[in-house]
Structure 1
C-alpha cells in the first residue's frame, strides 16, 4: 500500500509540474486573469461598503461582521475556482469530446487526472485577499483569536471547499447520462453562490432553509465565519467539515456511477 501511495503521489506531482510549466508559458494571460479577479472582488467589497453607508446594520450584522464573512467567503471560493470550477468542461471536453478515453488508459484515478488537468492556479489570489479582508474586519471588531477560533476557520475552509467540490463533481457527472456538452445546472449552481457572500439572516426563511439543507451554501461562508463572530453559531459552524465530507462523498459516488456507464466517445 505504501509503494502504491508513493507512486500515485509522484504522478500527481508530475501533473502539477507540467501544469505549472504550461501556465508560466502564457504569463500575460495568467496575470490578466489575476487582475480581473481582483477587480471583481474589489467591486463586491465596494458594493458592500456602499450598502452600509445607507444602513447601520444588515439584519443585525454590522459592516465589520459582514466584511469578515465576505473575507472568509473569498478563501474557499478561490480554492474552488482554482480546483473545481473548470469541471464545467467535463461534458464538452472529456465525455462528448472523447478525451476521457485517453485519461482512462493512464495509471491514475480518472477523476484525479481530470481534476489536475483543469486546475486554474491563477484563481488562488483570492486566498490572499480573503486573509487580508478578514484581518481588517477582525481588527475593526477587536476580535481576540483563540486556538479554537483558528481551528474552526481552518476546518471551515476545508469543509467549504469540499462542499463546492462535491456539488461540482456531481453536476459534472450528469453528462455521463445526458451525453451533452454541459449541464444547464452549472449556471444555477454558480449564481446561487452569490447568496452565501452575505449573512443568511438577510434572506427569508425559505431561502435560509434551502441554503442550509438543500444546497448547503450556507456552510461555504456564513456558518463557519459566524461561528467565530457569535457564540450562538459556533456549534453549527463546527458542522461545516462533516457536511463537506458528506457532500464530497456523494459527488464522488455519482461520478463513479456515471463513469461505470461510460463506453467511449460517441456512445
Structure 2
C-alpha cells in the first residue's frame, strides 16, 4: 500500500503523455466515437427491422450494449495492454525485468500501461446509456443511480477478471490466442442480446460458468422492470458486484499462483 502514490504517478504520466498532443488525442477520441456510434446505429437498424427480440425493444437491447461497452472500457483502462500483451512480454523476456522491481507486479503493470485512450469509449458508453434511459423514459431515483454505479463497478471487475484469466496461462503456454478469442470475443458476443433468447444450456453457462450475464442482463432486469430470469432467482439482478468481487479475487489468486510457478523463457 505504501507504493500507491507511485502507481498513481504512473497513471498520471500516461494520461499526460496522451493529452500532450491534443490534436492526436482529439482525433483518437472522435474516431473511436464514430466507431462505437456506427455500431450503436447498426444495432438500432437491426432491431428496428424486428421491432423486438423476445419482448425486448430496441432501446432495451441497446441498454444492454451500453452497460457492456462502459464496463469493458473501464476495465480496459487498466487491463487491455497489460494482459493482452503479456504473452509477448514473456516471450521476449521483458516480463523478467518487471519482476526485479520492488513493486507489486500486477499493480505496476496495470499502472505503467494504463490506456488513457479509453476515455472516449467510456464517454460514448455513458452517452448511449443516457440516450436509452431517455427514450425508455426511465425515472430513476438517487438510489437507482447509486445502484447503477455499483453495477458498473461489478461489471468492470468481471471484465477485468476476464483479461486476467485469459492472460495467466501465458506463464505456461506462450501462445494462447485461441483462449483469448474464446473468452473475450466468442462468449462475450452472447450478451449483446438478452440471454433469455438462448437455450437453457447457454443461460446456465453465461450465469454459472462464465458469468458474463451479470455484466448487463441481470442488472437490466431491475432498471428496465423485466422478469426474464426463467431458470434463476430474481435476486440475481442485485448480484453483479458480488459476482465481480468473487471473480476478481479468483483472478488475483490465479495471478499469484502463476507468478509463483513462473519460469523464465531465458530470452
Shorter-chain TM-score above 0.5: yes
1:90 aligned to 2:94?
no
Tell me the residue number matched to 2:239.
239
Cα shift at 1:82: 2.0
State the 4+ residue runs in structure 1 displaced beyond 6 angstroms.
Answer: none
SS at match of 1:84: helix
Counting only pairs closer than 5 Å after superposition, residues 117-136 of structure 1 correspond to structure 2 as 117-136=112-131
Q: How far apart are the structure 2 equivalents of 1:152 and 1:205? A: 28
Q: How far apart are the structure 2 equivalents of 1:108 and 1:236? A: 38
Cα shift at 1:169: 0.9
1:79 to 55, 59, 74: 74
Contact 2:166 2:179 survives alignment (8 Å)? yes
The CA deviation string for residues 74-108 of structure 1, in whole angstroms up to 9 with x for no partner, is 21021122221221111111x22222222222222
Cα RMSD of the aligned pairs, angstroms, is 2.1
1:255 aligned to 2:251?
no
Cα shift at 1:48: 1.8
Gaps of 5+ in 2: none
Counting only pairs closer than 5 Å after superposition, residues 27-176 of structure 1 correspond to structure 2 as 27=22, 30-86=25-81, 87-93=83-89, 95-176=90-171
* Aligned CA distance change for structure 1 residues 26 and 102 (closer, same or farther; 3 Å): farther
Cα shift at 1:174: 0.6
Length-normalised TM-score, structure 1:
0.88
Tell me the residue number matched to 1:193.
188
SS at match of 2:172: helix
Contact 1:152 1:224 survives alignment (8 Å)? no
Cα shift at 1:162: 0.6
* Aligned CA distance change for structure 1 residues 145 and 111 (closer, same or farther; 3 Å): same
Length-normalised TM-score, structure 2:
0.88
Q: How far apart are the structure 2 equivalents of 1:228 and 1:259? A: 41
Contact 1:65 1:229 survives alignment (8 Å)? yes
Cα shift at 1:12: 0.9
Cα shift at 1:182: 4.4
Q: How far apart are the structure 1 equivalents of 2:49 and 2:16? A: 48
**Is the deviation greater in 139-148 or in 241-250?**
139-148
Contact 1:89 1:182 survives alignment (8 Å)? no
Cα shift at 1:32: 4.4
Contact 1:92 1:182 survives alignment (8 Å)? no
